[in-house]
Structure 1
């Protein structure tokens, strides 16, 4: 579940613009009485979640960053240490498989965060993660999970076939793990519900267009490529499709909504 720093840097502005701002007020209220909240960021990548959220919270904070990739952890901790923030923010790194974390690992947290993680997990992994968050007794802000819906403007007939194949690819079995893909939001909300924890879900779509040409093109190549990997019959028809779409991106004539959802769960 490791991604290149280049891809993470390319998507960071779109992620920041997409995350559901309406979930921030409950988070701020929950942390209002905490002098120096400890925030555990699971699957931190290069630290984009901390760079987005830390300036939006009041006062000093300490972030504990979790990732399997030591190079990404180094980038994340360094970026926080050198960031210009309105209040002192410190960070420490933990190299770990986030699917194996327990409530004991999350103990002492005042907030748990993730970004673009849930759809990469299995149902069992989501259940374990949710149980650990609930047992730790702190809110969890889980952002940018794909929902399986993509809207392209202008539309083409092949859009629906590519979307269906891509969603099937997101739900594929790999290494003995069957990924949730676009079912992750419903599965996560359901897992919290089984433990009597309420969940707020808000939309957080990527809005791609002329201002995000490089990201839009890279996303499109990956979207079409995954769909064709899942459904080889799409390889032929997709060649002309991809050329047309890339030309439209270069001309600033293609708009894309990639739908995601953010979740906020609070045991209290």
Structure 2
């Protein structure tokens, strides 16, 4: 997320990786609690994900870094590495950028996208990390990678800002825009804003891990479909796109001349992912009940059964996501 005239830009030097406090060293949440970001927030009316718009004086909720750390390995395994080949071809065709590739990471959280992508791209890179949460921005900066795939230097700076204010001027000099688990918490207007900004700057966008609205649980349960339907409705509340985000983004980028590639990027959770699966289950069912309170009594029994199966190593879950790569018109290009 970015603002064109954001005064709170915070360049981060390599020395920032020294004696910084690791926010992930805090004690884990109590058993049975939901880590913020994994499900409905504790306070009534508070969104369970990082809020992308300035919509009131209340303190905005954020993803807990514990949740982001818990899901990072599954995210890395799920992302569609096949989309990197067309991206590398596009980037290789750019004029040799002075100072290396400039990558904007929107809604960066703790910086997991940079840790995954930067070591998979050749050449010097400068990552500009955007988020509304200064706590997450600090962690993303101190935990950022230092080397590209070929050993070239990777540098980083942070910016606080809002995706709703994104403009082509915000992306001046950008060679790539990335985001992870962002599209589905945007509105139609915000996706159009993002697509227009990328098109205006002539840079590609790699947008990963958008929810697809499908979950496959093994063994199956009669309530699976009902919980999924209620969760998807929760994802679409207040004008958010939820599982419709990738289709909307494909149209938005395509209308602006981009070539769009989409590839599945499902979480595949088994017995080795018990902690993540349990947190995801609590958040998934909790969101469904928040959307449809009449499910509460039956959903409590359902969740208990699912958590017991998870603890016993008997539950498998495929949580479907999609990754999107939008490549600009061949005549475009970043400065």
TM-score (norm 1): 0.95
Separation of aligned partners in 1, 2:116 and 2:293: 39
Task: Give the CA RMSD over aligned residues.
Answer: 1.4
Separation of aligned partners in 2, 1:261 and 1:14: 14
The Cα of 1:82 is off from its aligned counterpart by 6.5
The Cα of 1:74 is off from its aligned counterpart by 0.8
SS of 1:87's equivalent?
A: coil
Separation of aligned partners in 1, 2:79 and 2:206: 10
Separation of aligned partners in 1, 2:74 and 2:192: 29
The Cα of 1:99 is off from its aligned counterpart by 2.3
Q: Find the counterpart in structure 1 of residue 67 from structure 2.
A: 7
| Structure 2 counterparts to residues 77-88 of structure 1, below 5 A | 77-80=141-144, 86-88=151-153
Q: Find the counterpart in structure 2 of residue 20 from structure 1.
A: 80
- 1:68 aligns to 2:151 (yes or no): no
For residues 167-213 of structure 1, give each alpha carbon's deviation from its aligned partner in whole angstroms, at most 9, with x where no partner exists.
0000001xxxx100000000000111222222000000011111111
Q: Is 248-257 or 76-85 further displaced after alignment?
A: 76-85
Separation of aligned partners in 2, 1:25 and 1:198: 14
Q: How many residues align?
A: 264
Separation of aligned partners in 2, 1:28 and 1:241: 45
User: Runs of 4+ in structure 1 displaced over 4 angstroms?
Assistant: 81-85
TM-score (norm 2): 0.77
Separation of aligned partners in 2, 1:81 and 1:197: 29
Contact 2:166 2:197 survives alignment (8 Å): yes
Alpha-carbon spacing, 1:39–1:84, altered in 2? closer, same or farther (3 Å): closer
Separation of aligned partners in 2, 1:44 and 1:9: 13
Separation of aligned partners in 2, 1:215 and 1:160: 21
The Cα of 1:81 is off from its aligned counterpart by 6.0
Contact 2:122 2:148 survives alignment (8 Å): no
Alpha-carbon spacing, 1:82–1:266, altered in 2? closer, same or farther (3 Å): closer
For residues 71-104 of structure 1, give each alpha carbon's deviation from its aligned partner in whole angstroms, at most 9, with x where no partner exists.
1111111111668973311000011112211110
Q: Find the counterpart in structure 2 of residue 47 from structure 1.
A: 111
Unaligned runs of 5+ in 2: 1-49, 51-61, 331-335
- 1:158 aligns to 2:218 (yes or no): no
2:279 aligns with one of 218, 221, 246? 218
Alpha-carbon spacing, 1:45–1:83, altered in 2? closer, same or farther (3 Å): farther
The Cα of 1:251 is off from its aligned counterpart by 1.0
For residues 36-77 of structure 1, give each alpha carbon's deviation from its aligned partner in whole angstroms, at most 9, with x where no partner exists.
111110110010000000110112211010000011111111
Separation of aligned partners in 2, 1:111 and 1:84: 15
Q: Find the counterpart in structure 1 of residue 240 from structure 2.
A: 179
Separation of aligned partners in 2, 1:264 and 1:84: 20
SS of 1:58's equivalent?
A: coil
Could you say which structure has the higher helix fraction?
Answer: 1
SS of 1:152's equivalent?
A: strand
